[in-house]
Chain A
Amino acid sequence: MNHKIVRAIDRGLAGCHICGQVVELHDKTYALCPRCNSKVHYRKHGSIARAWALLISAFIMYIPANTEPMMHTSSLGRESSDTIMSGVLYFLSHGDWPIALVIFSASVLIPILKMIALAYILIMVQRGATTRKIENTRLYFIAEVMGKWSMVDVFVVALLAALIQLGALTNIQPGPAGMAFAAMVILTMFAARALDPKLIWSQAENYDGYKE
């Protein structure tokens, strides 16, 4: 089956990312889509370099996101700080293991798995791998879709902090991990968007945006 496949780039064509319109590019680097007026490229520009930069930044943010406290609780003069993991352990000790599992996978597991998946795809693309293309495309798709669920803990802190402002009685303040966490999620989402899955299918050295 595979020998019949023609890539759009080899015919001087490209699909619009926004509306799917097939646009004739030929030797232009980009064109405006006649239907929705967005820029159409053969491949995302500087895809690999941008994806690595964003991915590495995201990984740096992943560390404080997990080690710094997510929120500070002050209750009748008693202060306590909670990291993501201490929150997970709190739910576990109260027997709420489904919630512990949800928080652990959304906040700890999904981000690191997503970053490993993107790094793996990037390395495969840079090495010009010719195997497992369908698996890697699917992996990319899953990594892209799962990313936003990591934001759940930021929303939990938002709602808790909004509800628990009871003056001297109890107070919840967001900790420094909140910002690191949101930055990490946003950076991995940008990294996934920067990475062009089409590079999995056509050799990187020919088609990365910087070369023409």
Chain B
Amino acid sequence: MESKEQAGNLFVCHECDALQTIKGIEPGNVAACVCCGSTLFKNPVDGVEKPLALIVASMIFFIVANLYPIITLNIAGIERAATLTESALIFLKLGRPELAVTVWFCCVFLPGFIISGLLYVLLSIRYELGLPYTKPVLAWIIRLSPWEMVDVYYLGILVVLVKLVAMADVLLDTGFYAYSILIFVYAAAASLIEPHFLWECLSRQDSKPQ
């Protein structure tokens, strides 16, 4: 039917299945579906440089946010501190393992997997390392990303703060500040990372002679 070159410019809209050919999208511009107007893909301005830098930063803040307590509470001289993982595992202790798994999966495991997976894929593309399994890693990141909830958890922290400030001495801990920065850095990285572009890079890497 179509030759290989033409097939490269052929797109199918995820939302409405409209078949269309697209060529020459300027860097920084968005290709929208001719039929329903959904975004087909974006053409990133500066390749993988900026996303890589932001993902490295996300990784650092993610680790700090997980290692240090988020909030320390002081009620009548008794201090309690909670880290991210502790807040998930408390459900295990209180006899609700299903909630423990849900919270831990959405707020600790999955963000960790996505950030380290993206780091792996972006490093492989940026330095032309040709690392193994980059495609399945990227495929799983895309499959699982709807379940990642760091931003929702952050909203939860803010609600807890408002609730507790009235009744106890609340100390914002290292984890909280790291988490706050993580939210911004990670959102910036997510907005710059364009799956379509990464797939193109990975395909190109493959077709290169070893």
Contacts and interface: CB of A to CB of B under 8 A. Distances in A.
Interface string A164-200: 1110011001100011001000100100010001101
B156 interface: yes
B15 A6 contact: no
A142 to B, nearest CB: 12
A80 interface: no
Interface residues of A, number: 67
A201 B155 contact: no
A96 interface: yes
A133 B16 contact: yes
Interface centre among B17, B90, B196 (most CB of A within 10 A): B17
Interface centre among A9, A38, A186 (most CB of B within 10 A): A38
Given A162-B87, A174-B91, A155 B38 contact: no
Contact of A94 (B1, B40, B82, B166): B166
A35 B135 contact: yes
A1 B35 CA distance: 8
Contacts of B13: 15
A36 B139 contact: yes
B149 A6 contact: no
Nearest to A103: B159
A156 B139 contact: no
A15 B149 contact: no
A159 B70 contact: yes
Contacts of B70: 159
A180 to B, nearest CB: 11
A198 B17 contact: yes
A198 B90 contact: no
A149 interface: yes
Interface stretch (B51-59, B71-79, B118-126, B184-192): B71-79
A179 B96 CA distance: 8
B88 interface: yes
Contacts of B208: none
Interface in B79-95: 80-82, 86-88, 90-91, 94
B193 to A, nearest CB: 14
A131 interface: no
A178 B70 CA distance: 22
Nearest to A20: B196
Contacts of A94: 166
Contacts of B107: 155
Nearest to B198: A19
B19 A7 contact: yes
A5 B71 CA distance: 55
A8 to B, nearest CB: 4
Contact of A99 (B91, B159, B199): B159
A179 to B, nearest CB: 6
Contacts of A174: 91, 94, 96, 99
A144 B145 CA distance: 12
B14 A17 contact: yes
Contacts of A91: 162-163
B96 to A, nearest CB: 5
Contacts of B157: 155, 159
Interface of A: 1-2, 5-9, 11, 13-15, 17-22, 24, 35-38, 91, 94, 96, 99, 102-103, 106, 133-134, 137, 140-141, 144, 148-149, 151-156, 158-166, 169-170, 173-174, 178-179, 182, 186, 189, 193, 197-198, 200-202
Interface of B: 1, 7, 10-19, 34-38, 40-41, 70-71, 73, 75-76, 78, 80-82, 86-88, 90-91, 94, 96, 98-99, 102-103, 106-107, 135-136, 138-139, 142-143, 146-147, 149, 152-153, 155-157, 159-160, 162-164, 166, 195-196, 199, 202-203
